[in-house]
Amino acid sequence: MNRSSKIIRYVSRRLIQGIPIILAIVVLNFFLLNLAEGDAVDVLAGEAGSATPEYMEEMRKKFGLDKPLPVQLAVYLKNVIQLDLGYSFRHDMQVTELIIDRFWPTLILMVSTILLAVGFGVLLGLFAAINLNTWKDSMVSVFALITYATPLFWVGLMMIILFSIKNDWFPTSGMENSAMFYEGFERVKDIAHHLVLPTITLSLFYLALYTRMMRASMLEQYGQDYVITARAKGVSERRITFVHVLRNALLPVVTMAGVQVGALIGGSVIVESVFAWPGLGMLAFESLFARDLNLLLGIFLLSSALVVAVNLVVDVIYCFLDPRIEVN
Amino acid sequence: MKLTKIMKGVLAAASIAAVGSFAQAQQAGGSLVFLVQPEPPTMAGYVSTSGPIGLLGPKIYDGLVDYDNDGKMVPMLAESVDVSPDGKTITFNLRKGVTWHDGEAFTSEDVQFTIMDVLKKVHPRGPNSFKEVSSIDTPDAHTAVFNLDNPAPYMLRALSSYESPMVPKHHLEGQDVKTAKLANNPIGTGPFKFVEWKKGQYMRLDKNENYWREGRPYLDRIVGRFVPDASTRAAAMEKGEVLYAAYNAVSNVEAVRLNKEKDNIGLTTDGYSMINPMALLEFNTKEGPFTDAAVRRAISTAIDRQYMIDTIFFGYGKPATSALSSNFSATGLHAKMPNYPANGDVAAANKILDDAGYARDGNGVRMKGMFDLIPYGEDWKRGGQYIQQVLGEIGIQVELRYEDVPTWLKRVYHNYDFEMNLNYFYQLSDPVLGVHRHYGTNMIRKGTHFVNSSRYSNPELDALLSAGMTTPDATKRAGIYLDIQKILANDMPVVNLFELEFLVVYNTKLKGAYGSAMGAYASFGDAYLD
């Protein structure tokens, strides 16, 4: 059997294995979320000021909240299997529609964050490892420590004060200019302009992680036998670092990035909140307080599906990075 | 026909004002971006009175009338209002040539449908406001005659576009009003048309070119922005990305700072008189440590209301002096009562408890209790901490509890599983609309939020409350409410703390947005950018 058909078989088997995992997550989430006091009707009626008990009873009936929990779960699972994520009664919209609406902003922010964090993290880690135990190495370590230890919301607010209020370089918040409503290429530029501060804020945090990891991973690889062999063969240090060590050192970083992509798609409540970025994290956060369980379960379902998918992709990427690893 | 004359006088004044305002040079055009916090759940202002709906809804929907800053009626969809001498027939003469945003004509049938089939049935407060309306006649397309079972003087205070928006019959008839598509695609007769709602970002409203007011609105567009983080909202205000913020969207501490540091940022407390927010303590009068009115009187006596206002709310607020807000002085209903000392009197409070026979134990504690706090942010937590401290001085040891909104609502209004609760209520434009729900025996309704959670029941008070509802004569009504306030100042199922003064923070570029008693809940037809 050749390699590509092996990979295809492997991927399909893993996908089938993923289905029970995702269903188990749905069931678990369902019961966990139902442990919370109060329901969507309480919140809606509370916000409305006053509502009669009859009206609230009627709403519960309409939302299906009057049925026993196992029945509610069965109905939900039946819908999920038919790829119907249900209806958000709070937003009066289909859950799928709401999630897709928020998925793109999340994706834009997360992809740019991961690229920036992994890219710079790898470079800085590499730089530190090459200049091991010099002042350059220490500078990188201190930088990583500070960015990792600083609370995200504070970094975000300082960014806004520095680059938006003191210097009028970037807008404070939002995804596009809501006074102008640009279209076409102007809109792309406008969104990119709004993207800068949240991306930098969020990637500063992850950057530190990748820097430290890359540095440690490089040092570990330098100690391996194959490096000694290569030196004995007379391979140049430059070639050892960039061809042999770098490639091997990347493996743990890729693993880490894979795990994080899945988690990041769930959004970052803090950065989304500080920069009013319309991502999934804020949506999930708000739905929790509104007890909008359909929507929340939908977001969790999407996140878990993505984690399963991304892990699979990472495993496949391994095969290419390290030919010794085979799928079977 | 007294009211008729008043209304006509107001109309004349309003038209003069309108002519006068044309003389100034208002600029047409421009976009107003303002803060809406939090994001509204839907735009169905006819089903929900949720605050953020009120910020955007009245730009899209009109009411029959509006109210100026003195609380006087200003014509809107109704050009004039005639009240019969017995107060039981109210005729609204509707404006001609008004169209909905989809081009259909606005007629008296829409009014009839809105009141009878929508507000009276599904609006949270509508069943109260329009309780006495038994039918509405529509002799022609521009006349709506309300037939009332009893006089309802308060009803004329509940006709604004926030409280009672007029909705299109042709989009709701024959459907379940609560689930109709109109909730997310509002179609009104107001100065701005709904264009787009980007969840988590903004709602965009564009100018209604066919608005019934000649030359209005001035603005081309109104955008409500949703920014979850309070510091970012203040930054957006500081930078001029948003020009207007109400209902604490920018916190008092930031508002005061911006006003001091920036020449172009102003503050006002106008625009909340029809809302009348009142901070208060609700007590469980059936179970727990606070069932004795003497204890509640002692608590009311001990709290330094002015101190709370000054230190926690930056001086914005007025100490409560009775069960009614002092804003009801305008209609002669408010009277100052004992047991509400502005600066607190710990010695007197201790004496009340001593006299009632509550002895202190070895640690100086007379009784212990649980104190729930409204989960609406830091200010309320601090308020709770202050009250905890002052109650400690009079030997009442309370433990604070701060939960999330649904849990808290369920605890207080479903399970009655609370002892003392810090909260605030909107007293609205008339006690019937905003205050009765807190005290009437008929308002002990398990599972309904923001009603009589104290389960206080007093037949004498109930009789006075229903008399207050149906007495049109102003002097007699004032007498009734004087008795009501006396009873409540003694029994205190609820201890009013202070009248909240919310702020409106605005950029001085924005003009003409401050003329309505509805404040941020107004139409903004006259707003323009300088």
Tokens, residue A127: 């730089």
Q: Could you identify the residue written with the tokens 């009442």?
A: B396
CA B142/CA B231 separation, integer angstroms? 49
Q: Calculate helix-pair angle for A185-222, A152-160, nearest 10 degrees.
A: 140
Contact A178/B204, CB-based, under 8 Å?
yes
pLDDT given at position A266: 66
Residue A282 CB neighbours (<10 A): 27
Contact B200/A164, CB-based, under 8 Å?
no
Contact B405/A46, CB-based, under 8 Å?
yes
Strand residue runs (E) in B230-366: 244-245, 265-268, 277-283, 317-319
Contact B47/A48, CB-based, under 8 Å?
yes
Q: Are B29 and B160 in contact (CB under 8 A)?
A: no
pLDDT given at position B452: 93
Contact A49/B42, CB-based, under 8 Å?
no
CA B76/CA B66 separation, integer angstroms? 6
Give the rounded percent of residues in chain A with a pLDDT score beyond 70. 96
pLDDT given at position B300: 96
pLDDT band at B25 (very low <50, low <70, confident <90, very high): low
Nearest Cβ partner for A102 among B200, B221, B227: B200
Q: Which residues of B touch A102 (CB under 8 A)?
A: 199-200
Q: Is the pLDDT of residue B174 over 50?
A: yes
Check residues A69 and B489 and name the one with the higher pLDDT.
B489
Q: What are phi and psi of B350, to 5 degrees?
A: -60, -40
Report ipTM (2 d.p.): 0.82
Q: Which residues of B touch A101 (CB under 8 A)?
A: 198-199
Q: Is B449 on the interface with A (CB under 8 A)?
A: yes
pLDDT given at position A260: 81
Pairs from B109-113 (Cβ < 8 Å, separation ≥ 24): B109/B138, B109/B141, B109/B169, B110/B166, B110/B167, B110/B168, B110/B169, B111/B64, B111/B77, B111/B136, B111/B138, B111/B144, B111/B166, B112/B136, B112/B138, B112/B144, B113/B167, B113/B169, B113/B172, B113/B173
Give the pLDDT confidence of B122-162 residue by residue, as tens digits: 887 888 889 899 999 999 999 999 999 999 988 998 999 99
CA A225/CA B451 separation, integer angstroms? 77
Nearest Cβ partner for B409 among A36, A46, A180: A46
pLDDT band at B15 (very low <50, low <70, confident <90, very high): very low
Tokens, residue A10: 């492997």
CA B412/CA B399 separation, integer angstroms? 16
Residues in chain B: 530
CA B503/CA B267 separation, integer angstroms? 7
- Please name the residue of chain B whose CA is at the shortest distance from the CA of residue A47: B50
Contact A279/B200, CB-based, under 8 Å?
yes
CA A230/CA A250 separation, integer angstroms? 19
Size of interface A-B (CB pairs under 8 A): 172
Q: Is the pLDDT of residue A127 over 90?
A: yes
Tokens, residue B313: 């709310």
pLDDT given at position A267: 64
Q: Is the pLDDT of residue B299 over 90?
A: yes
Tokens, residue B230: 């309070």
Q: Which residues of B touch A47 (CB under 8 A)?
A: 41, 48, 50-51
- Helix, strand, coil percentages (3-state) for chain A, rounded to 5, are 75, 0, 20
Q: Could you identify the residue written with the tokens 């003694």?
A: B490
Q: Are B420 and B372 in contact (CB under 8 A)?
A: yes
pLDDT given at position B20: 42
Check residues B518 and B448 and name the one with the higher pLDDT.
B518
pLDDT given at position B24: 54
Q: Is the pLDDT of residue B272 over 70?
A: yes
Cross-strand bridge partners of residue B146: B90, B136
Q: Is the pLDDT of residue B3 over 50?
A: no
Give the pLDDT confidence of B351-376 residue by residue, as tens digits: 999 999 999 999 999 999 999 999 88
Contact A171/B241, CB-based, under 8 Å?
yes
Give the pLDDT confidence of B312-363 residue by residue, as tens digits: 998 999 999 999 999 898 888 999 999 999 999 999 999 999 999 999 999 9
Q: How far is A278 from chain B (nearest CA, A)?
A: 5
pLDDT given at position B17: 43
**What does the pLDDT average to over A263-271?**
77
**What does the pLDDT average to over A263-278?**
83
Question: Which of A176-190, B167-181, B272-286 is most confident?
Answer: B272-286
pLDDT band at B409 (very low <50, low <70, confident <90, very high): confident
pLDDT given at position B400: 96
Question: Which of A89-93, B172-176, B406-410 is most confident?
Answer: B172-176
**What does the pLDDT average to over B289-314?**
95
Say how far residue A150 (Cα) sits from the centre of its chain.
Answer: 20
Q: Is B178 on the interface with A (CB under 8 A)?
A: yes
Q: Is the pLDDT of residue A3 over 50?
A: yes
- Please name the residue of chain A whose CA is at the shortest distance from the CA of residue B185: A92
**Termini Cα distance of chain B:** 43
Check residues B500 and A321 and name the one with the higher pLDDT.
B500
- Please name the residue of chain B whose CA is at the shortest distance from the CA of residue A274: B229
Tokens, residue B92: 């609204």
pLDDT band at B34 (very low <50, low <70, confident <90, very high): very high
Tokens, residue A73: 């779960």
pLDDT given at position B273: 84
Q: In the predicted model, what is the mean pLDDT of chain B?
A: 90
pLDDT given at position B12: 43
Element (H, E) at B33: strand B31-35
pLDDT given at position A37: 76
Give the pLDDT confidence of B199-210 residue by residue, as tens digits: 889 999 999 999
Q: In the predicted model, what is the mean pLDDT of chain A?
A: 86
Contact A49/B184, CB-based, under 8 Å?
no
3-state secondary structure of B471: coil
The per-type count for chain B, helices as H runs and strands as E runs, is 17, 21
Give the pLDDT confidence of A149-195 residue by residue, as tens digits: 988 889 999 999 999 999 999 999 999 888 888 888 899 999 999 99
Alpha-carbon distances of B256 from A32, B33, B225, B265, B288, rounded to whole Å: 43, 21, 22, 10, 41
Element (H, E) at B412: none
Q: Which residues of B touch A274 (CB under 8 A)?
A: 229, 231-232
CA A303/CA A29 separation, integer angstroms? 12
Q: Calculate helix-pair angle for A280-290, A40-47, nearest 10 degrees.
A: 90
Side-chain-side CA neighbours of residue A218 (13 Å): 23
Give the pLDDT confidence of A277-320 residue by residue, as tens digits: 998 888 888 888 888 888 989 988 888 888 888 888 888 887 77
> Which residue type sits at B143?
T
> Which residue type sits at A183?
E
Q: Is B2 on the interface with A (CB under 8 A)?
A: no
